[in-house]
Amino acid sequence: MSAARPPEGAKTPSGASAVHEVTSVGAPLSAARPPEVTSVGATILVVDDTPLNAKLLADLLGAKGYRSVTAASGPEALRKLADEKPDLVLLDVMMPGMSGYEVCAAIRADPAHAMLPVVLVTALDPAVERIKGLEAGADDFLSKPVAQAELLARVRSLLRIKQLYDEVERQRSALAEWNRTLEQRVHEGVRELERVGRLRRFFSPQLAEAIVNGGAVDPLKSHRCEITVVFLDLRGFTAFTETADPEEVMAVLADYHAAMGRRILEFEGTLERFTGDGIMVFFNDPTPIPDPAARAARMALAMQGDVALLAEHWRKRGHELRMGVGIAQGFATLGGIGFPGRIDYGAIGTVTNLAARLCGEAQGGEVLVSQRVWGSIEGIVGGEAAGALVLKGFARPVQAFRLRCG
């Protein structure tokens, strides 16, 4: 290493350019220490117009676990840069046609190779050449003759930096993809909320969700299901509408519907329809629930409590209004009812008629339930037998039970 360096391009007796510089790097390959821990699969492009120099460098790197690719000129190096996608470039400075500086500048001109480590190898004055190399975009320098330990240390260091950069780039790309996915999900979520909001104008929240999410197989298609039906209306409402102003009627209905609607949502019932003061709600469709009768009974009792508070307010304004409730359980046919442009979700069957008839028999403040409902809630909700009732549309008397309110 203390010997004077020959000028760049000087030929040795064998005809190779500064071959002795490579063969003098440290100990012979056969006596080298075990390979250091290297970047598995890292590819290094060795660019030198002297084939023997390029081969010796490639063999040294190969012995240390790297994959080497060689190029004999600047244009060939740029072609292999695109084909091989190396992780580092060892670039000789003095080459005919296209110098190492020009090759380095061409590499840096491509944004895809902005962070590709480039090491210039030169036998010229390091102080002068370093400035030219930095201006061309080089990352590091090696002076000829090349020392094996220095070469490998610089290669390891630059590959480690590139690995960190590549990891940052992977994380950046992953973060960008997550952001795009999140943005798409938010956009889809907003659209879904808008769709649910529009559907809720016509359907219950459960049915709207089923339609939007596909949670039900064509929920508007007619199907048969066992449901618990709750029917309620106001006592004294007809007489009230005959004497009250329309604005007063609408104000009373607004209070009544708001209070009942909150309970329907709370107990997750399916609202079948509003018809003035009449409201029909059913449970267990389109979303099955484990305790439809008990839930219907608790909702009815809570509604009676709400109407009792409203009745005090109405009484102060001169209106005597109370509410009766009927509950029945049985099979019905359910599905979409209407025409294109306006479809309601309805239930048809004897069970809906029975709930309506029981509601008609209930006095203000009462909840009447069928025997089948009572069999499901006895011991859960308090009540008593109301006897056999003769109901319109039913050939035989129907056993009914009165729930204990308050």
240: pLDDT confidence band, cut at 50, 70 and 90?
Answer: very high
Residues 347-401 pLDDT 10s: 999 999 999 999 999 999 999 999 999 999 999 999 999 999 999 999 999 999 9
Parts of the chain belonging to CATH 3.40.50.2300: 19-169
pLDDT at 163 over 50: yes
Lowest model confidence (mean pLDDT) among 8-17, 40-49, 337-346: 8-17
Cβ 249 vs Cβ 317: under 8 Å: no
Provide the phi-psi class of 335: left if phi over 0, else alpha when psi is between -120 and 50, else beta. left
122-151 burial, b at 16+ Cβ within 10 Å, e below that, comes to: bbbeeeebbebbeebbbbbbbbbbbbbeeb
Lowest model confidence (mean pLDDT) among 146-160, 186-200, 354-368: 186-200
Lowest model confidence (mean pLDDT) among 129-133, 262-266, 320-324: 129-133
Q: CATH code for 19-169? A: 3.40.50.2300
**Closest to 90 measured CA to CA, from 76, 109, 114, 71:** 71
Parts of the chain belonging to CATH 3.30.70.1230: 218-403
Only one residue has tokens 């009462």, namely 366
Average pLDDT over residues 139-151: 84
This prediction has a pTM of 0.54
Q: What pairing do the DSSP bridges indicate for beta strands 398-403 and 278-283?
A: unpaired
Please report the pLDDT score of residue 31 as a whole number: 39
The two tokens of residue 160 are: 């480690």
Please state which of the four CATH numbers 3.30.200.20, 3.40.50.300, 3.30.70.1230, 3.30.365.10 is assigned to the domain occupying 218-403: 3.30.70.1230
Provide the phi-psi class of 18: left if phi over 0, else alpha when psi is between -120 and 50, else beta. left
Q: How far apart are CA 117 and CA 41, in angstroms?
A: 16
SS3 234: strand
Please report the pLDDT score of residue 140 as a whole number: 87
